[in-house]
Structure 1
Amino acid sequence: MNTHASHKTHADVIIVGGGIMGCSTAFFLRKRGLSVVLLERNMTGQQASGTNFGGVRRQGRALPQLAMSNRSLRIWRASRELLGSDIEFLPSGHTRVAYHAHDAEYFSEYARQARDYGLDLEVLQGAAMRRRFPFLGPDVLAASISPLDGHANPRLAAPAFARAAAALGADIRENAPVRRVERTATGFRVETLDGESLLAERLAICAGAWSQALAAQFGEAAPLTVRGPQMAVTEPVPYVFRSSMGVYTSIKEESIYFRQIPRGNLILGGGPPGPADAATSRAAVLPENTLAQLRQFRRLVPGVAPLHIIRVWSGVESYMPDGEPIIGRSGTTDGLYYAFGFSGAGFQIGPGVGETMAELIATGRSEIDLQPFSIERFNLAGTPAPTPAQRSPQGAPPSPTAAQS
């Protein structure tokens, strides 16, 4: 742990939270020449950013997120050169499938709408779909394919951004939990648990499930809840599934998504979430959820029936009541910025959020409209209800089983 209680550290920006949002924000701020201190309560990428499915996919997102998602994909594609390390991004494509006629019809409508936002999708049904994906079960009616999307390794991504930011001069501090944040006459003071005081003109809160308490210190509501993704991995088999794939459905029991890594293992997620607790930083996988995942996986791809699960895991994720994240300026405090509450869909969009946050903090403006993600939507109007246009990561209406990206 860092111990600097005898003096005060000063920076242009302090970032609280070392997930993919905070680490990518630190990286892009240093690219713009601002001094940065990042404080992470545990290890970078340890919770939601490192325990999610690893999907790098745009389709199924609410339309207002697509500009950020497109920006993020450009970063993913350049990640090896940009970060100087391999985070195992594979542009293998992303496919979502439907069991129900009304869901299959929605694929074409969503593809039409998404085209206006720079996302081109291919929708297949019937014989054409069977030729492309002969391994799918008989219940599948249609498939929507996003050929430029893919997946990456969530255990590698946030730490790689942290290392790259540190190489540019950012002060990255792990095992540095924050006790208190406050506005001062010239900026912000952040006090760590070991008693150090840090000063900065600007403050960015990117602390995931732990952001609610920090926002409250500035009089802002962030009505998030915490849940634990139910993740599993199989024994390795020959590498045959190039595209990551998920079921589009509003029936939570049917939700399943999977991807295969070149080593051969298949990574699974979906279904009802498990319990999570921000106070203890713990989340659990329920055995009945894993068994239900296996049943749904076999329904989707009958040929995987003989496979064995070799490991399960979870993490603490934060969910907003309307399914949309909080990104942008504080509504109460100048110089304060937020990026949290990504409702199980933050991994793909994370690098784009970091670049956008850096742009906003450094220049006072953003090329991307952040109004749909303002924290003021809760402070001014109470808790909004989900709308039909707001979709979970696999494209279903927001629900407790929204798929991790």
Structure 2
Amino acid sequence: MKAHKSDVLIVGGGFMGAASAFFLRQRGRSVTLLERDQIGQYASGVNFGNVRRQGRALCQLDLANRSWALWKRLPALIGEDLEFLPSGHMRVCYDEAHIDELRAYAAAPEARALDLEVITGKALHQRFSFLGPEVKAGSYAPHDGHANPRLAAPAFARAAVRAGARVEERTEVRDVQKIGGEFHVTTVDGQVFIAEQLLITAGAWGSKLSEQFGEPVPLETHGPQMAVTEPVPYALPTVIGVFTKIPEEVIYFRQIARGNIVIGGGYRSRPDMLTRRVQVEPRSTLNQIEQMQRLLPGAANLNIIRVWSGIESYTPDSLPVISASSKVDGLFYAFGFCGHGFQLGPGVGEVMAEWMSTGQTSTHVAPFDVRRFAPPAALQQGEPMVLKTGSNAR
């Protein structure tokens, strides 16, 4: 069978992989994207849809700001509408002791571009009268907002294809060999793909690939818990999330233009990584209903019409892996986004395209280096390297 050659091969067709493929084509690189199932099927398509910068680790804000600039250019950038609405985002708290933390975050130099405003007491409830009486304060980010996660990765993938990329769904990688200066990738159905550079954007399966190159990442997998209500008149443009140290109090909601209120947060479930399935936890749905009554009393009598989950991966320090390999020339990683990668998607794609095309990036990504996990002894560069992925790789 004839091998397919390109400059860059991407394994994993979530938001990060699709955006990287698009921006690589903008730089004139030939690119092939392989996805074992469907584009955006896992974390990228089932998340809450927050396009927020506030609340992120301060070291992420340079990347988040770059991504936000790209979100503002939609849909002109890719020719499709992702329903991005910069309607504002607010973190609220029930505990007055947390107000100082909200203020400290807002005052940090890294957060300057967010234009955060901390509002307390009577002023908060006059401005956001729908909030429950237990809410003590809120940090308001006027430029953040939300979008439709089901649309994002497929739209970027289609834009990449229109720009000349090759995107292969239902294509499972069987093994990878690094021979000389090229990666040779063989799929389960016998296709062979060859490229000078390899980008692993395989989400919760990322470490199954990176560990074969001597760079394991200690990922935990969880299933986010999501629900949506029946439609009601549109009145809640601002995305609201609770800032708390109590896990069951973590809840967030947004209302879409059709009137439904999307709810996330609370208890998470454990995915089955072999079957690639995850269940909704009934206790999480019940907890969401209870917490919504505290946060948004007016929603107490609304009906939940659908619930769902997905598969997300989490690192011990809650920071992603965005890195060149320290072991293998031409190998790059972008995975492990800890349940808050959606807003970063366009920025990660542009950063990876810049990095892989020029050898460097202007965005601060040093805290996300794969080497922080102190992997075992390095594999020797330059010798043939075989990666066996079997049924656990995407």
Q: State the shift of 1:182 in Å.
A: 2.5
Aligned pairs for 1:156-305 (under 5 A) are: 156-305=151-300
After TM superposition, give the deviation of residue 118 of structure 1 in Å: 2.5
- 1:133 pairs, out of 123, 128, 137, with 128
Tell me the distance in 2 between the aligned counterparts of 1:245 and 1:381: 42
Corresponding residue number in structure 2 for 1:152:
147
SS of 2:361's equivalent in the other structure is: coil
SS of 1:203's equivalent in the other structure is strand
Distance of aligned partners of 1:88 and 1:116 in 2 relative to their CA distance in 1, 3 Å threshold: closer
4+ aligned runs moved over 3 Å, structure 1: 114-117
Contact 2:87–2:238 (8 Å) recurs in 1: yes
Letter in 2 for 1:322: D
The answer to whether the 8 A contact 1:182-1:217 is kept is no
Q: Which residue of 1 aligns with 2:392?
A: none
Query: How far, CA to CA, are the matches of 1:172 and 1:164 in structure 2?
Result: 11
Instruction: Determine if contact 2:315/2:338 at 8 Å carries over to the other structure.
Output: yes
String of CA shifts for 1:28-71, please: whole Å, max 9, x gaps: 00000000000001110110000000000000000110011011
Greater CA deviation, 182-191 or 170-179?
182-191
Q: Which residue of 2 aligns with 1:78?
A: 73
Distance in 1 separating the partners of 2:333 and 2:267: 28
Say which SS state the counterpart of residue 190 (structure 1) adopts.
strand
Q: Alignment partner of 2:140: what SS?
A: strand
Quote the Cα distance in structure 2 between the aligned partners of 1:116 and 1:228: 29
Shift in Å, 1:115: 5.2
Verify the 8 A CA contact 1:63 1:117 in the aligned structure 2: no
Q: Could you give the per-residue CA deviations for residues 99-156 of structure 1, whole angstroms, max 9, x where no partner exists?
A: 0112122110000015555222011001110111111111100010110010000000
SS in 1 for 2:357: helix
* Alignment TM-score, normalising by the size of structure 2: 0.94
Q: Is the 8 A contact 1:67 1:117 kept in 2?
A: no
CA distance in 2, matches of 1:284, 1:103: 33
Q: Write the letter of the residue equivalent to 1:342.
A: F
Supply the RMSD in Å over aligned alpha carbons.
1.2
Mapped contact 1:260–1:267 kept (Cα < 8 A): yes
Look up the match of 1:88.
Answer: 83
For residues 64 and 380 of structure 1, the distance between their equivalents in structure 2, rounded to whole angstroms, comes to 23
Q: Does 1:364 align with 2:359?
A: yes
How high is the TM-score relative to the length of structure 1? 0.91
Partner of 1:307: 302
| Matching of residues 8-27 of structure 1 within 5 Å | 8-27=3-22
Match for residue 353 of structure 1 among 348, 352, 375: 348
CA distance in 2, matches of 1:373, 1:115: 17
Superimposed CA distance per residue, residues 299-326 of structure 1 (whole angstroms, 9 cap, x where no aligned partner): 1011111101000001111110110000
* Gap regions ≥5 residues in structure 2: 378-394
Indicate the residue corresponding to 2:27 in structure 1.
32
Identity of aligned residues (%): 55
Question: Which stretch of the first structure deviates more once superposed, 112-121 or 175-184?
Answer: 112-121
3-state SS, counterpart of residue 38 of structure 2: coil
Alpha-carbon separation, structure 2, partners of 1:182 and 1:8: 14
Structure 1: gaps spanning 5 or more residues: 1-5, 383-405
